[in-house]
Amino acid sequence: MTTVLTPTGGAPATPDPDATVPTLGQAGRVRKGLTNPVASVVALVIGVLWTIPTLGLFVQSFRSKQAQDSSGWWHFNGFTFDNYRHVLSGSQNILSNLVNSIVIVIPASLIPIAVASMAAYALVWIDFRGRDWIYIAIFALQVVPLQVAVVPLLRFVVHGAHIGSVTIIPEFGFAGTVAAIWLAHACFALPLAIFLMHNFMSEIPRDLLEAARIDGASHGQIFRTIMLPLLRPALAAFGIFQFLWVWNDLFVGIVMSGSNPSISPITVSINNLQNGTSGAGGELLPAAAFVSIAIPLVVFISLQRYFVRGLLAGSVKG
């Protein structure tokens, strides 16, 4: 027997045809669209096509110069380990430059993360005059080409800042040191880092911070104990992005380490394998390339689960 509940003194309740039917939010629709079979097949095809050049480079890294020059990589002939021996322990050793890249990339990734997280906190949660204009100005700096700004930055690092005969900022003494490369990469990374952190922090409920303020927590305590744990996906996402950017950079490495080749990153040493127009050493490029991608590949695989979460933070609601 079925019992129908009725309001007191009235007729049985009937569904309201005008009632709003719950629908998926924007985030749900995006998730559903990206997980349908067609999207999966398209992603698989793109992944295969994207991997073919990498496979070719990997095969070439084990082929002799004669085999590389005489036939395509799909012939799978002329296999040798001499290319790796040359770049790891021979006359074209790049291990010292690999160490230089590690020395460069870690501070160049941590410095903008630290500065951007504090700047984003101030722009989101501290009320002061002109903060919106400051955020817009920082966001607009992303359109400044790297090639336009790196030479003035180098002059600033070497000579400081002067107005006429008055010294505004003395020279840092960073010329010819890895600190100059750290500073360059940190400056160019800050606009994007602040943008990502700002978007992520904007999604955190204000009630959480107000409760902490009522309990007597200062901004520093809130930032350390509440914000940093919540920011972990965004920090990891930008850390991966910055790590890969700095590791693969050639232009800044050449400009900032030009006066001291001993601090050149691995990208500069790989570029130097091509001696003039003769192409001598060109057969070592595939092997050197695979040596150079080993560390960033490990970093990306280790932190990949944070990458998409951090980049999409604040981009969709629902």
Is residue 14 over pLDDT 90? Answer: no
> Is 87 contained in some domain?
no
Residue 64 structural domain: 33-80
- Looking at the structure, do residues 192 and 117 belong to the same domain, yes or no? yes
Quote the number of domains for the chain: 2
Banded model confidence at residue 22, pLDDT cuts 50, 70, 90: very low
pTM: 0.75
Q: How many other C-beta atoms lie within 10 A of the C-beta of residue 190?
A: 19
Q: What is the dihedral of CA 78, 84, 86, 90, to 10 degrees?
A: -140
For tokens 């990734």, the residue is 109
- Looking at the structure, do residues 44 and 123 belong to the same domain, yes or no? no
**Domain closes at, from 23, 46, 80:** 80
Q: Is 7 exposed, middle or buried (0-12, 13-18, 19+ CB in 10 A)?
A: exposed
Q: What is the pLDDT of residue 39?
A: 81
276 touches 294 (CB < 8 A):
no
- CATH number of the domain that 282 lies in? 1.10.3720.10
What is the per-residue pLDDT across 117-132, written as a single tens digit (0 to 9) for each?
Answer: 999 999 988 888 888 8
> Is 152 contained in some domain?
yes
> Is 20 contained in some domain?
no
Contacts of 214 (CB under 8 A, 6+ apart): none
* 64's tokens: 């002799």
**Which has the closest alpha carbon to 153: 132, 179, 127?**
179
- Looking at the structure, do residues 58 and 131 belong to the same domain, yes or no? no
**Domain closes at, from 80, 108, 142:** 80
Which residues lie across from 275 on neighbouring strands? 280
**Backbone torsion region of residue 182, taken as left when φ is above 0, otherwise alpha when ψ lies between -120 and 50, otherwise beta:** alpha
% of the chain at pLDDT higher than 70: 77
- Looking at the structure, do residues 193 and 305 belong to the same domain, yes or no? yes
> Is 110 contained in some domain?
yes
- Looking at the structure, do residues 64 and 211 belong to the same domain, yes or no? no
What is the per-residue pLDDT across 94-117, written as a single tens digit (0 to 9) for each?
Answer: 888 899 999 999 999 999 999 999
- Looking at the structure, do residues 220 and 255 belong to the same domain, yes or no? yes
What is the per-residue pLDDT across 259-289, written as a single tens digit (0 to 9) for each?
Answer: 677 888 999 888 888 755 445 677 888 889 8
- Looking at the structure, do residues 221 and 189 belong to the same domain, yes or no? yes
